[in-house]
Every structure is written in C-alpha cells, then in structure tokens.
Structure 1
Amino acid sequence: MDVGTAVGLRSAGRTWTLGSRGICYLGIAAIAWVTRVEVGAWTYHYSDQGDYTWEQARNYCQTFFTDLVAIQNKQEIEFLNESLPFHGRYYWIGIRKLGGIWTWVGTRKALTKEAENWAVGEPNNRRSNQDCVEIYIKRQQESGKWNDEPCNRRKKALCYQASCQPFPCSQRGECVETIGSYRCECYPGFYGPECEDVVQCPKLEPKGVRMNCSHPYGDFSYNSTCVVGCQEGFERRGVGTLRCLASQRWSADTPTCTAISCPVLSTPDRGELNCSHLHGDFAFGSTCAFSCQTGFVLMGPESRECTVTGTWTGDAPRCQAISCPVLGAPDRGELNCSHLHGDFTFGSTCAFSCQTGFVLTGPESRECTAMGTWTGDAPRCKAISCPVLSAPDRGELNCSHLHGDFAFGSTCAFSCQTGFVLMGPESRECTVTGTWTGDAPRCQAISCPVLSAPYQGKLNCSHLHGDFTFGSTCAFSCQTGFVLMGPESRECTAMGTWTGDAPRCQAISCPVLSAPDRGELNCSHLHGDFTFGSTCAFSCQTGFVLTGPESRECTAMGTWTGGAPQCKAISCPVLSAPDRGELNCSHLHGDFAFGSTCAFSCQTGFVLMGPESRECTVTGTWTGDAPRCQAISCPVLEAPSRGQLSCSHVHGNFTYNSTCTFSCEEGFVQMGAEVLQCAATGNWTRRPPVCAEDGAVLKQVLAYSSGTALGVASLVLSGTLIALLVKRLSDREEKKKLLNPTSDLGSPGTFTNAAYNANL
C-alpha cells in the first residue's frame, strides 16, 4: 500500500480532520495501528510518496477515502494551502472537464463562478488536452490557485473523507460539506436543522362538495393532496385536485358545485312544447313534453329529460306530414312531382312520361291522399324491339338487354377468338326505330411478317388460316456442315408476331488449331475461323521435318481430318567416341539431331587427329570427318654397339608406353639404364645405355680422375667404385653386378656425362 493511503496505518501519510475544535493533524504513526476518532467533520488526506495520473489519483481516493477533494469556497482553499506540504508537481483535485463543462466529479455538479479559483490566464487548455485540474500548494506565485493540466501527468492525490452520513438531513434535504461540519439544504416544503419539520397549509372545509385527501407528512401539510368532487347532476367550478405547496398555500382556490345545465329546447315546427323545471330552467332534472298539429305525426320521443351529463335524453323530435310510399320513375321513363309539406307527403302530385323509344302504359299522374296512399296504379314504359343478332364466324357475341332481349337500348358487343381481329363495328345498339346501328362485323385471322429461309438453310411452313397468319408454323433446318442457331420452329401468335428469334445457320466449328512446335500454320476459312470447310496447311522451320499430314480439313462432324502433325528435328547418325578418346555432346532438339554439337578429346598419351568438334546440319550430316586418337611417338631406338635391344609396343612401334630392354655381349659392360619407356611427352624416360669393354672401364675412371670431372665424380665414386672395380676384376660375376646401371644415378629421361661415367 502506498504511503498515506489510509489513516491509522504505519506510514508517512498525512491526514487533517476539520472539527468543531479546529484542525487535528495526524502525523507519522509510531505504532502498527491507531484508533481513529470520529468527530463528524470533513477530513482531508493526501499521498506523499506516490505520484499518479488523474484517473489513478481518483481511484486511490475512492479506494481508501471518499473521492478527490471537492472545494466549495475560498476558505477551504486557504486552509489547504496553509496545511499541506509543498510538492514540486502539486496536487490533483476532483474537478474535470466533462462535455466541455468543468464538473465536480464527486457531486456531478458544475463549477460555479463563486467557487472558481483559476490562476491568471487559466484555464488555457493548451494543446487542447488539458481536461484535469491541479492546485498550487505553497507556490511562490499564485499559491492556492488552480491550473488545467493534461490528465496523464503524475501528481499527488488530494482526497477527502465525507462527514455526511449515508442518510443525512432526515432524507428531506441535501447534505453540504463545510469546513469542520456540514449543513442541510432542505428540499422545498421542509425546514429545520435536519429538515425534520414540514410546512402546514390552512385546513380545507368546503360545503356542498365531496372531498378525499391524502397526507404523506401530516394533516394538511406539505404535499397533502385533496380531490374535490360533486354530487350526480352537479358540476365543479374550479380545479378538482388541490395540493399543499412549499409556500404554505394551496395550489388553487376551493371549488363549488352547481346544477348541470342542458341546452334550451324550442318548439318543433307544426308542434307544441310543455316543460317542468326542478333546479332551474333547462337544468338537471327538467322534463319537456312534445305534441303535433292535426295532419302531422310526431317523429321522435314524446318527452325529453335533462341528464347528469348536461344532455337531453333522446333526439330532438319533429312534426312531419304523413308520407306516402316514395314513387320512382318507370324504367326508361320520367317522374315530375310537386310537394307541399315534403317529398312524397300528403298533397304531393306526380306526373309520368317515357323516354324516346318507350311507350307509357297506365295513368299519367297520381296524388298522395290523407291515408298515406297514392291514387291509381303504377304506370310503366315498354321498350321497342329490334331483330335478333348472331355471332360472326370465329367470333363471339355478348349482349346486354336493359328492357328485354334485343329491344330498344340493347347493346351487343362483338369479339373474335384468339388470333383473329374484328373487321367492322365492335358493338351495335338497338335504336328507337327498331333497327341496329352499323353493319354486321366479321373475324379475320391476324397476319405475321413473311418469313424466309436462313442463309445455308431451309424453310418448311404449314398454314391453318392463310399464308403466314395466326396458327401458321414454320420449321427451319440447315445444310450439311451447318448447325441451326435459334429455335427449330416458329409460330405466328395472336399478337401478329412470331415466337422466338430468327434462327441462323452457323458453320460447325472445329477446335482451333495451332502451329506445331518449330512449325507454321496457314489456314483458309470459308465460313468462319476454324469452321466447316476450313483448310489448314502445316510446314516446319529449317532443320525440322514434318511428321503427319501436310494439311487438315474441318469436317461436318466438327472434327479435323488426320492427326496433329509434328515438326521433328532432322537426325544425324549417332556418333561414338574415338578409340582412346572421349565424346561430350549438347543436344538442342533431341539426341544427335539438328543443332546437336559434339566435342572430342583424347586420353593421356594420345593426340587428336581431326576436328575437335562436329555439328549436326540441316542435311542430317555432321560437319567435318570423324577424328581419331593417335598414340604419341618417341624417337626410334637402336641396339647399342656390342649389345642387343628387345622392345614391346602396346600402341605401335616406339609409341606411348612402349618399353625397350637393353643387354650387352660377353666381355662388355652395360653403361646406363637397362629399361627405357616412351612417356606421354614423346620422350624416353632415360638416355639409351652403351656397352663398354671391362678393361676400358678402369682406364676411363683413372683418366677422368686427373681431369676437372674428377672433382665431382671421384668424390662420390672414388672409394666405393674403385673397390668394386678391383673386386670385379677378380670375380667376373661381381663385376657384372657392379657395372649394372641403377635408378639413382640420374632422373628419368636424363643422361649426363657425369652419370654415364659413374656407371662406368
């Protein structure tokens, strides 16, 4: 827990309690727990170690106290400025901009002008994000003033512990925290230190009315409500509900009850009126009786009474002349009446006549008697007749007869069956002369546009009612190699149009062909690209030969004749590596085909005779002649004087890897290598040896020992070689071994005079 987060903990937190006896300062606690004395006052708290953002500071205060401090007057500001220690980052207080309004977050009340304590030029809302407020404590300038700051900055938390209890002021007012105490701001209608008293209104005692009251806080006190009503037949003058207000007055004056009035009644025309009144003229309880003069009858109630709703029972009666049955003009006739006291009443007279085309049968006039009946019988008008009509062929007849079948006024409408059109009048009417208007119509089949066969196609039609008229059907077909696109048949409809769209014959399509790889395609199209009758010829590029048909044709089945041709590279004979050599080939279009290139090389000790490479040409032949690998030759060797030569030749006389062995006759010593071999360089591995007499060997040694050569040879051979030579003279077999040439007398292929003399 951060230092100063709760009173009574071992910490450096500070708490001030503002009570009736002044300021109580709780310093650094010296023991683990201390007892908090409740004095019924507002206490201030702050954190002196941790720095928090505004939200963190509020969470800190709400966790351990009530909330961030809510400052309500300048006195509190002075107290805080004097009591709190200085901190470089100052303290957060519980005010924040909400919806653009500075609001105390603990009470959700807007900041008032009286409580504002801004520093000069503040709030300035710099960078438009300064929505929280700090208080300068012990600042050198403007100490105790406020400044708007960004809410994410870190400062000290300045908290308060409320002194108001959970249910203060008798729950009839708002508890307002003050320094060292609190006060109750009573709601309207209540008063007293704890709002325990309620306002009283004068007692209501109305007369002649019914009253029902409810008293939530005592008889006729604040918020007492009285509902006032009247007896049946009487109405209230004034409001029906009265409420005791906080001003100790009722919301309205006490109402009164008066008898309900009904509208004043008048005597009906040709009648009389007789009324009696209980509570005033034409008021609740009044009764009026009605009667009529001789010759008239009362229509409506004989009497009416004024009810509690202020309305009369029944409807207003009237005196009406005796009526006769309403007369109507005869069908297709006219009626002309005169009325004295109303339509078709006693004394009314009616005259009858007929319209043109009708004749009257019966009396020409009738009169309404005092008994409510008419004199005479009802006349009628009889229509004149026309000849009977019949429907046209392929048509229909629909007649309406007003005055009898095919009589004056009868109308006959003509129509045709579907697919036919009426030629003549659509209707005829029977006239006053007994004849029909117009001539007799007829029905004619509807025509469609004349059809023609599509290109490369045929047309076959059948006609029911005439060429290319309603009901005509035309079938379409195409020639071989063409397919019908559209309907196979069309019919002439009743609208004069053909069903479907006009078909066409389209050449049957074959799959689109493409040129073979390394080839070309040349097509001719008769009826469209790659359709029936199209012909395509194939050819190949230089160095390639066509395999397959040279041309293909699109058939009526939508397929091409023959198979798909290919361009195959021209082949050359397969090459093989020369004896003792190697072959390395690259093939562009297939093994040993046009464009293939082959390079030749020989093994060690052999040399290429012929071209180093050959290429397959468009004629199917290779450039150049076939090369060969020939063994490298060394110089021809001959047997030494007084000696023999024996050679073995692997690849030819005195060629690479040939081996020659030398020997000397009896009495001669071989000086040099016994065996020579032909190397890949065309040289022998050593110089050929010579055969020398036995006595001549020692003489040669002594002769050389006196010369300059002795400086080198004698130093190496003097001791050993002379001893061997002396022994060889006594032992011939040993002499032969001594004079036999060795490999360490010189490098292969090197024959120096010193080595030669050393062998001697």
Structure 2
Amino acid sequence: MERVVSIAIVLLAVSAADATYYCPIPEENFKTTLSSKEYKRGFPIGSKVKFYCSEGYELFGSEASQCTADGWNPPTPICFLQVTCTGRGGIRDGSVSPSKGPYFAGDEITYSCETGFKLIGAKTDICQNSGEWKEEKKPFCRAVTCKRLRAPPKGFADSEYSAYFPGEEIKFSCQKGYRITGSRKNKCGRDGKWIYESTPKCIEDEVSCPTPRTPVNGGIEPEKSKYFAGDEITFFCGSDSYLNGTFFDECLENGKWRYDERLACIRTTCLGADLSEYSDWRPKRRKYFVGDKVEVECEDGYSTSDDNQVVCRSNGNWSKLPRCKKVVCYIPKPPAGGYVLPVIGYKLPGQRVRYFCDEGYKLIGRDHNVCTKAGFWKYDNDETPTCVEQDRCRFRTAPEKGDVSPRQRSYRVGQKIKLSCEDKYYLDGPAENVCEEGGEWKYRWTPKCRKYCVFERDEVDDENIVHSAIQRRFEYKAEIHFKCKRSTLLVGDDYVKCGEDGVWEKKIPKCVPVCYRPTVQNGKLLDDKSLKDVFVEGDTAEISCDDGFRPKTAGKVTCLSGGEWDMEEFCISNKQRCSEKEVRNGGARPKEPWYEPGASVRYFCHIGHILTHGDGSNVCMSDGTWKFPVPNCRGHSTTSFCAGRCGRRSDYRRYPCQCNITCRWFKNCCSDFAETCPGSGN
C-alpha cells in the first residue's frame, strides 16, 4: 500500500540577497502542505521544515531541516515502512480478527471457530518487532466430538473410534446365540454428549450368523468364532486407506447378515487444505493421490530456504513442507567520512536506506539504496556514494566591544560560530554564522556591538508621572513613553528615544498640577474661542455673572499651585439683607444679626410696656429695608394695662396675647398674667 509523508513548514524571515536561492522540494513520498505558487520551484534559503511520517511509516534522520545555500541542512530524513508480519491467513472452519492486513509490530490478532468446532492452539497471536509472529504455529479448528463407547460384553459396536463427531451414530450387536437388550443405536449430540448415557447388554440366544467376509487390506471388530442374532461388527482399514462400502454389519434374527458386502480398503489421498499456510500452490486441487507433486509459493517478502516441491506420501501426508522465511537486506557499509541511516538492522524488499556525510564533507553519488525482492541491494558496491572534504572559511573578526567563539584560523563547511558583546553592550545583528560551501560565510558582514541606554526608575522623582519602562536597559531606537496622572499636565515630549551612542535623545518630561476649566454657578466664563480647558499655576479666567448676580471678586479667578481656583463661589446674588434693629424695652423673634429678603420677625415688649405702633410683625424687603417702621416699647400703668388686655373668653382675638380667668385653656395666655392681673382670681 502506498504511503505519503506530510511536511509541516515554518518559513522564517528571508533577506532579499538570498531570495533567489532555493532548496529542492523533497522527492518521491514527500509532499508539502503549502499551496502557494511561490514554493513550486522550491523553498527559499532560511526556510525551516519539520517532517512527519504517515501512519505505518517510521522517521529516520532529523525531523527538522533548514534550507541553506548548500541545500537542506541537516539532509532531509526518510520514512521507512514499519515492520510487518505475514503468513497468517484465515483458518478452516473458523476466522481471524482483524481479518485484513498488513499487520504491524505490536498488532494482535484473535482466532475463533464456527459452531460445532473448538480451537486447538493459541487463541491470540502478536506481531513482534522482528517481523515474526510470537506463536510458531497458527491454531486450527477441530470439530466437537463425543467420547469413545465400548461394545457390551458378548456384544459389538459398529465402530470404536477414539472420538465421534456430532450427528454420527454407533450401533451395537451381540454375538451369535445372544440377543441385545436396550437401544441398538446411539447418536453423538452437538454438545459432545451421547443421547443415551448407558450401552445396551447382550443376553444368551441360540440364533447365529456365518463368519463375515473380511475387507481386502482391512479387518473386522470384534473378531470371534460365532456371531449371534443382534451382534454388530465393524470393518476397519489402515491409516493410509479408507473402506469402499458400509463400515458395519448386523447379524439378523434369521441368521443372515444385513448387508453382506464384498469390501476393500483403498489408500487415502493428501489434502490441499494442508498447504493453506502458503500463498499459492500448483496444481491446485482439494485432494491429491499418492505420488502427486506440488510446487508451493510463499507470500511477498518471503521465500523458501529448501526445495519448494512437496510429494503426497502413501500415508496421506505430504513430504517435508519447506518453511517460508522473510527476505531481508542487511544494512550496507557506510562511506568513509559518512554514515547510513538506519545504522543497524535490516530492511524489507522495497524499503530504503539513506547515505549521509559528516560535517565538512559532501556526498558524491546516489544518496539512497533500495532492498530488492531477492534480498540484495539494488545499487551494488560500484554505485556506493563517497564523502569528499569541502572548502573552508577564513577567520572571522570579532565586532568592536565583542568576541567570537570558537577562535580558529579557518572553519570547515557547516561549522558555526557565535558572536557576543561585553557587558553594557548588545549585538545588533545575527548572533550565529555558518561556513557555507565555497568557503564563504552565510552573513558576509560583521554585526555591531551597541551600548545600552540605561533608564533608572529612581531618577524619576515626580510622583505624578507614569512611564512604560519594564526593564532597565534598552537597545538602539527603543522608546519609553510617559503620561501624567489626573490634575497634572505633561510639560515636554511624551517619549524619549535611545540614541546610537547609548544616550537618550530627549529629556524626561515633567508633570505640573493644573486647574480644569471651572463650571460657574449662576454665571459663565467670558465667550472667548481661544479660551483653554486646562490652566496652570498663575493663569486667570474672567467671569460673567447672570442677571441678578454679581462677581464676588473683581470678575477674575486665579489657578493656585494645588490645582484649585482661588474662590469656589464666583457669582453671588444682588439681593441685600436686612440688619437687626434694636427695640427699646423689648425685642424680636427670631433674633438674628442679618435677615434674608422675605424673612419675617415678631416684636415683643417687656412687662409693663406696650408697642408704640403696629401689630408686632415685620418683613425684610429685597432692598435690605423693613416693610414697616421698627416699633419701640413704652411704659403703661398696671391697671390700664390689665384693663386693656384682660377680657372675656370671647374676645381673645382682639389682642396678640390674652389673659383671663380661663386662660389656662388657651394657647395665647400672657406670661405675666398673675403679676399684671392680681384681681383676676387666678
């Protein structure tokens, strides 16, 4: 069965100078998973390829290779067929699972028999790494049989085989002068048991039959002088022949034999089924007579070590059957300065080996060989490849502030060197170079050792600045970006760049506190299209207040160092407050130093005084004046005061404060009632 090998390919960066060089696509069983047209000619230098084998194949050689100017390095591997086992076909009256090959090393097969047969031999077999089966012989199926039954005393059984197959019958008879009691017949069941467990008995009787005829080249069982009615006899032949008629007879009650045939033993034949272990034999028949010759053939990959002709012998068996041995080619000798893969072992017909050269050598000739069906390598010693030494590359100068390893006067083709730099420097270019065919280095220019730019985090003392640096050292053209935290403004460029000499090209910026454009309650900033949204310390902004409001200061606010404006309330109301007015011999409730427009107060007088005018209430106007003139309190006699204030229950609405004998039930009783109205009776 044909197998193919899939290749997974990873293409690395390829310089423009190498783009015109290609490595050939691997031949024969190889194919790529790429469909791009640009790789139909081959793979560009620098391409890396990883190889995988299909199921049933083994990979020999490196699983990865890279395209160089000298071709694939290391050489492309090959995929060999895995070890297989053959010579295990089906079995007669049975089956094998799995039934289809090929069988590889480690595969296991299981044998089973049809109903009525049992397996003789190992039930399972395993294909080993040597290509041979674990069991030397494969099993076969034998029919289920019943055990041997012996004839009764003074009696006979028509057969006394060591075993009987299901469905076969045995008949019993007695000697002359005896008759049988019990069943004359018994039958072997499918389960390997007789239908009747006991054999019949022979009792004495007077009727007998004449002596029976013995088959030519055969015999009679049992053999005795007299056979009585009911007796049964069995005719038998040698192991190399068979009977040409009925194999038993019975003495009847009339004194005659039931069949009384003239019998003879004819030699047996050899069976073609005994040759089933071979893939074919000729001529092909089911049966062969004594002396017939047959030529046998082995399966592909096997051959007979002896004569492949067998003869049917007189005993019904074949002469010595030749053994089929696996055809193999042992691993050939490697060329000087090279090696062969695989290194040891052997290969089956159709399988290959590959030739390789050591580093510094080049293969001249065919890089593979094939095992033939005859067990020889297809290409003989005259076509064995050779390995010749390749050109060498000159000493490679180390870069300034750097080193090269190993240091040699010259290098062989395929040898690699490594470049490195001193501390505080890094390599700007490939760190590895390889000597290619023709004595030229893969990279013909020497990379430079550049100095790192160093960024010390502790040098950034501004707690409001944030940077993108996650390491301390940076290479040429590397950048660090900066930004500020909220309420601060970045002053300077937002990044620095590493220069060629290891010095930062720009200075680290700073973050300064800022005031954001204020939101003015009851006002707004002056309408100026150039007005900015962010202000630094010392910047001012002019404010315009809404109608009915005025600036709290001169109309300007200033950004302070902490990022705050110098005043939180910018616009205040134009409305004025009323001041507290002194009431002689009295007061006002509530008592406040200032009253907002619309606020109400109520005046009161001390004991013995009354208001000079008004009902005692007043309201603060929006212009900062009181609605009514503020009254004073003047003195009055007790009598007239009480007369003016004390009255009946029904007239309490007349005065702001009522006092009478029932004042305890009113909420507006005078607090000075007991003192000012002593005659009231309370």
**TM-score normalised by L of structure 2:** 0.30
Task: Name the structure with the higher strand share.
Answer: 2
Structure 1 or 2, whichever has the larger Rg, is: 1
**TM-score normalised by L of structure 1:** 0.27
